[in-house]
Structure 1
Amino acid sequence: MFVSELRFDCFADTTISLAEQAINNLLEAWRANGQVLGREFAIALHEGSFRVRVLLPEDHSLANRHNSPWAKQAISQLSQAKLLAPREKLLGQDINSEISCSEPPSWQLLYTSYVHMCSPLRSGDSLLPIPLYQLPATFNGDHKQLIRWQTEWQACDELQMASATAAEFAALHELSDIDSDLFRRGWDLRGRIEYLTKTPTYYYLYRVGGKSREQELQRPCPRCGNHHWYQPEPLLELFHFRCDNCRIVSNLSWDFQ
């Protein structure tokens, strides 16, 4: 991933509130399309211009060819706030994050966690994140629904990792049960992505608990009952189960690793 600084210059008198609204609208459009990563963006007023630093999947993530209809509209509306289109200054590669996948994958999966800011779509060959703007829009011109699903998955993951309140069990249900709302929406998004990309796309089903390692190794696919989805050699050193029929991958329960 890369760090870039955007500079919004004024061509006439404006107000902070107008500028803030216009800039945030553009940043939110880019975020919904996977062009910028993260949830919060600090906007600074410095020497008559507005500046913001953003994290990008690739060094060309903000190229016009990647913009969604919403992003293009947001850029055109900057003039209403008396702002010019942003000037971009690429600061360099972020040393604390992963590089993005640059090769077409043979298969891919939806996988995220509360510590990840990158795309929730990963290459099945390398587990590297795939920038969402490289895909056809999943719904309504961008990937907002996929970003929303990722945000909710991460919130549940953080709750269950904290293990501090009764909310842990509700969060764990959303992450690991196929009858949860989070699974249903994520699995449907997975199917949409597979249809659009023509690439086998899987859903990561979180697994913790179980009575014993022996029973865990024999557990069937929770969706179709397939008893032959265990992988003697874990895929990507992480996924011990894969059901090709249901497009689900899962880990050996963390209690027995």
Structure 2
Amino acid sequence: MHVVELRFECFDNTTITAAEQAINGLLEAYRANGQVLGREFAVAFNDGEFRVRLLMPEKSSLAKRYNSPWVEHALGKLTEAKLLHPREKYIGQDINSEVTSTETPSWQLIYTSYVHMCSPLRNGDTLQPIPLYQIPATFNGDHKRIIKWQTEWQACDELQMAAATKAEFAALEELTSSGSDLFRRGWDLRGRVEYLTHIPTYYYLYRVGGESLASEQQRPCPRCGNQDWLLDEPLLDMFHFRCDDCRIVSNISWDHL
């Protein structure tokens, strides 16, 4: 991942409110298209210009060729707010984040966790994140639905990791059940991505609990009942099960590994 600073200069008299709405609208449009990562952006005003530092999948993430219609619309709103289009200043590579995938995968998967800010679309050969703007828009011109699903998955993951309230059990149900709303939406998004990219795309179904290692190894695919989805060797040292019919990968319960 890479860090860049955007600088917005005024070309005429404006107000903080107008500038705030225009800049935040652009940042949200970038986020919905996967061009910038994270949820909160600190916008500072100093010496007559607005500045914000952003985390991006690639150095070229803000290139015009990747812009969604909503990004282009938001850029137009900057002019209405008397702001020039932003100037970019490259800061450097972020040492605390993952390296973006640059090769076409033989398969890919939808996978995230509460500690990841990167794209939830992963290269199945390396597990490296694939920038969402590198694939066709999934719905309505961008990838807002995938970003929203990722936010919900991460919220449930954080609740179950904290294990401090009864909400943990409801969150676990969403993460681990093939009948949950979270699974249904994510699995449908997976299918949409596969249709658009023509690359086999899988959904990661999180697994904890279970009675024993032996019972875990014998559990069938929760969607179709396939008894032969246990792999001889785990994929990427993480996924012990794969059902090619249902496009699901999963793990042996972390409680028994």
RMSD between superposed Cα atoms in Å: 0.4
Q: What corresponds to 2:64 in structure 1?
A: 64
Amino acid at match of 1:77: K
Is 1:83 equivalent to 2:83 in the alignment? Answer: yes
Q: What corresponds to 2:158 in structure 1?
A: 158
Q: What corresponds to 2:213 in structure 1?
A: 213
Task: Provide the secondary structure at the position in 1 that maps to 2:196.
Answer: helix
Kindly report structure 1 stretches of 4+ aligned residues shifted beyond 2 Å.
Answer: none
Q: What corresponds to 1:10 in structure 2?
A: 10
State how far apart, in whole Å, the 1-side matches of 2:13 and 2:93 are.
35
Q: What corresponds to 1:125 in structure 2?
A: 125
State how far apart, in whole Å, the 1-side matches of 2:206 and 2:109 are.
13
Q: What corresponds to 1:48 in structure 2?
A: 48
Task: Provide the secondary structure at the position in 1 that maps to 2:220.
Answer: coil
Aligned-residue offset at 1:195: 0.2
State how far apart, in whole Å, the 2-side matches of 1:131 and 1:151 are.
16
What is the TM-score normalised by the length of structure 1?
A: 1.00
Q: What corresponds to 1:30 in structure 2?
A: 30
Task: Provide the secondary structure at the position in 2 that maps to 1:128.
Answer: coil
Amino acid at match of 2:157: D
Is 1:112 equivalent to 2:112 in the alignment? Answer: yes
State how far apart, in whole Å, the 1-side matches of 2:119 and 2:30 are.
13
Give 5+ residue unaligned stretches, structure 1. Answer: none
Aligned-residue offset at 1:56: 0.2
List per-residue Cα deviations over 1:62-121 (Å, max 9, x = no partner).
Answer: 000000000001001101110000000110000000110000000000000000000000
State how far apart, in whole Å, the 2-side matches of 1:99 and 1:8 are.
28
Task: Provide the secondary structure at the position in 2 that maps to 1:14.
Answer: coil
Alignment of 1:171-210 (within 5 A): 171-210=171-210
State how far apart, in whole Å, the 2-side matches of 1:90 and 1:233 are.
42
State how far apart, in whole Å, the 2-side matches of 1:23 and 1:163 are.
38
Give 5+ residue unaligned stretches, structure 2. Answer: none
Q: What corresponds to 2:142 in structure 1?
A: 142
Aligned-residue offset at 1:55: 0.2
Task: Provide the secondary structure at the position in 2 that maps to 1:50.
Answer: strand
Amino acid at match of 1:112: T
Amino acid at match of 2:22: A
State how far apart, in whole Å, the 1-side matches of 2:63 and 2:188 are.
29
Amino acid at match of 1:255: D
List per-residue Cα deviations over 1:160-195 (Å, max 9, x = no partner).
Answer: 000000000000000000110000000000000000
Task: Provide the secondary structure at the position in 2 that maps to 1:187.
Answer: helix
Aligned-residue offset at 1:46: 1.0
Q: What corresponds to 2:170 in structure 1?
A: 170
Aligned length: 257
State how far apart, in whole Å, the 2-side matches of 1:151 and 1:59 are.
24
Amino acid at match of 2:224: C
State how far apart, in whole Å, the 2-side matches of 1:176 and 1:72 are.
38
Amino acid at match of 2:24: N
Identity %: 73
List per-residue Cα deviations over 1:42-71 (Å, max 9, x = no partner).
Answer: 000010000000000000000000000000
State how far apart, in whole Å, the 2-side matches of 1:66 and 1:46 are.
29
